[in-house]
């Protein structure tokens, strides 16, 4: 048995005490997921990036005979889309399904089996959102390897979870419940990246819009050509980190779904209206965070401190407009359906040094 904690908890403990006594929950779960052929996960909440991470692990690695995910709480619209994407992949591979539990289920049980026998399990506070390293909640879980406790975890599925679960298209939201449409709690941009992202009021945002001069606007054309399918908004599809299982099989770990950047062209780099190397943005929907330029000739425009903030902001716009499904590539057709292929940055004339960042769709301007 071992105590596991989330990444943010690890970072905090490093400030005050030794870290060796604790394991990393996301690292243990990822390693177990790729090391065992049967996976059963029952949680309360899931998130778009965590579900898409599972999609990437399954798509890139053919090491499983069974994968089933049971979800206990109501799904927001974008999360339901992601869950359906995973469900289709599991069915296509003949591995399993995504299920909804008919009663509100707050448990978090992860069970991994090999050759039909339970090998490792975890029980604790981490929902599926906890498997991604950017998860911002303090979580504590217990890693279990004792046979009696493993048998009990397996019984939780057979005795409790499976009997009250239905495939996602037959689940609770198909029986009179309305899917939640707005972001909740940690799924909001400022909640997911606490301390790095702020949110201003509609009144403050209106004042910002009055303080911009469009003749100073820097315009970046977002590229999704065949030559750039693994960069810009599609870094999820770029070269993955590789590990080797005990049996010698090589496995791949995808980049985070929301990791993204804007790669400036030579003419954009020379544009006199181009933003500086570090600056604060106020987005068209009121979020506030820091951006930076890096790479050769400062050509990479990306969020500072966490590369997923910019990607989360811009890809969530595409997801919420229902032109992008989690796990799919952003293409020229995606941008056309959204109604915008340009990222615009304009200095805010209020002596704050901030910039206004706009990627609103044409429909929002009409």
User: How far out from the chain centre does Cα 275 lie?
Assistant: 27
3-state SS, residue 172: helix
Task: Report the pLDDT averaged over residues 43-65.
Answer: 95
Task: Report the pLDDT averaged over residues 148-173.
Answer: 90
User: Of 10-19, 214-223, 276-285, 296-305, where does mean pLDDT reach its minimum?
Assistant: 10-19
Starting at the edge strand that comes first in sequence, how are the strands of the sheet with 140-144 ordered?
Answer: 23-24, 2-5, 140-144, 117-124, 109-114, 38-43, 66-71, 98-101, 165-167
Q: What is the pLDDT of residues 331-351, one digit of tens each?
A: 999 999 999 999 999 999 999
**Which residue would you say has higher pLDDT here, 239 or 66?**
66
Question: Torsions phi, psi of 217, nearest 5?
Answer: -75, 135
> Which pLDDT belongs to residue 356?
97
**CB-hemisphere CA count at 13 Å for 121?**
25
Task: Report the pLDDT averaged over residues 185-191.
Answer: 73
Question: Would you state the structure tokens that stand for residue 300, as one six-digit string?
Answer: 């990479």
Task: Report the pLDDT averaged over residues 243-258.
Answer: 86
Residues of the chain with CATH 3.30.870.10: 2-174
3-state SS, residue 326: coil
State the burial class of residue 70 (Cβ atoms within 10 Å of its Cβ: 0-12, 13-18, 19+).
buried
> Which pLDDT belongs to residue 176?
39
- For residue 171, count other CB atoms closer than 10 A to its CB: 21
With a cut of 70, say whether residue 173 has pLDDT above it.
Answer: no
- Output helix, strand, coil percentages for the chain, rounded to the nearest 5: 40, 25, 35
Tokens 């009179």 locate to: 176
As a whole number of angstroms, the distance between CA 146 and CA 169 comes to: 36
* Residue 347, beta-bridge partner list: 355
From the list 27, 311, 294, 121, the residue with the least C-alpha distance to 197 is: 311
* pTM of the predicted structure, to 2 decimals: 0.88
With a cut of 80, say whether residue 143 has pLDDT above it.
Answer: yes
From the list 282, 242, 234, the residue with the least C-alpha distance to 258 is: 234
3-state SS, residue 161: helix
Express as a percent the part of the chain with pLDDT over 90: 70
> Which pLDDT belongs to residue 106?
93
Going by pLDDT thresholds of 50, 70 and 90, the confidence category of residue 213 is confident
What are the helix (H) ranges across the chain?
7-16, 25-35, 48-60, 77-93, 147-155, 189-192, 202-210, 266-270, 308-320, 332-338, 362-365
Task: Report the pLDDT averaged over residues 59-78.
Answer: 93
Please enumerate in sequence order all residues whose Cβ is within 8 A of that of 74, keeping only pairs 6 or more positions apart, or say none: 172, 173, 177, 179, 180
From the list 269, 284, 294, 307, the residue with the least C-alpha distance to 355 is: 284
Average pLDDT, the chain: 89
With a cut of 80, say whether residue 174 has pLDDT above it.
Answer: no
With a cut of 70, say whether residue 247 has pLDDT above it.
Answer: yes
What is the domain class of 2-174 according to CATH? Answer: alpha beta
* Residue 122, beta-bridge partner list: 110, 143
* Residue 7, beta-bridge partner list: none
Express as a percent the part of the chain with pLDDT over 70: 91
> Which pLDDT belongs to residue 175?
39
Q: What is the CA radius of gyration of the chain?
A: 22
CA dihedral 59, 63, 68, 74 (to 10 degrees): -40
Question: Would you state the structure tokens that stand for residue 183, as one six-digit string?
Answer: 């972001």
Task: Report the pLDDT averaged over residues 301-328.
Answer: 94
With a cut of 50, say whether residue 365 has pLDDT above it.
Answer: no
Task: Report the pLDDT averaged over residues 142-165.
Answer: 96
CA-CA-CA-CA torsion sign (220, 290, 51, 172): negative
With a cut of 60, say whether residue 359 has pLDDT above it.
Answer: yes
């Amino acid at each position: 048995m071992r105590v596991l904690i989330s990444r943010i908890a690890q970072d905090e403990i490093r400030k005050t005490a030794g870290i060796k006594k604790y394991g990393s929950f996301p690292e243990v779960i990822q390693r177990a997921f790729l090391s065992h052929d049967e996976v059963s996960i029952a949680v309360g909440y899931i998130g778009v990036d965590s579900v898409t991470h599972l999609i990437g692990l399954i798509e890139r690695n053919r090491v499983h005979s069974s994968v089933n995910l049971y979800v206990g709480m109501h799904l927001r619209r974008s999360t339901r889309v992601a869950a359906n994407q995973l469900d289709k992949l599991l069915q296509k591979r003949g591995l399993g399904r995504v299920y909804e539990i008919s009663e509100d289920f707050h448990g978090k049980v992860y069970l991994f089996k090999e050759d039909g026998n339970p090998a490792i399990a975890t029980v604790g506070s981490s929902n599926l959102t906890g498997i991604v390293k950017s998860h911002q909640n303090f979580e504590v879980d217990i890693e279990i390897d004792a046979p009696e406790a493993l048998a009990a975890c397996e019984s939780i599925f057979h005795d409790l979870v499976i009997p009250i679960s239905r495939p996602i298209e037959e689940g609770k939201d198909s029986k009179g419940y309305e899917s939640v449409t707005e972001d909740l709690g940690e799924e909001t941009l400022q909640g997911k990246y606490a301390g790095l992202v702020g949110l201003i009021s509609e009144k403050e945002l209106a004042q910002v819009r009055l303080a911009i001069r469009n003749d100073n606007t820097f315009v970046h054309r977002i590229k999704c050509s065949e030559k750039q399918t693994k960069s810009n908004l599609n870094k999820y599809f770029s070269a993955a980190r590789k590990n080797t299982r005990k049996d010698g099989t090589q496995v791949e770990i995808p980049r985070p779904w929301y990791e993204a950047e804007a790669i400036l062209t030579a003419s954009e780099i020379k544009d006199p209206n181009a933003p500086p190397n570090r600056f604060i943005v106020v987005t068209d929907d009121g979020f506030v965070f820091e951006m930076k330029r890096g790479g050769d000739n400062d050509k990479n425009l990306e969020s500072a401190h966490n590369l997923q903030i910019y990607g989360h902001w811009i890809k969530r716009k595409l997801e919420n407009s229902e032109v992008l499904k989690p796990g799919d590539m952003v293409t020229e057709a995606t941008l056309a359906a959204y109604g915008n292929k340009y990222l615009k940055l304009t200095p805010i004339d209020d002596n704050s040094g901030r910039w206004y960042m706009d990627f609103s769709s044409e429909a929002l301007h009409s």
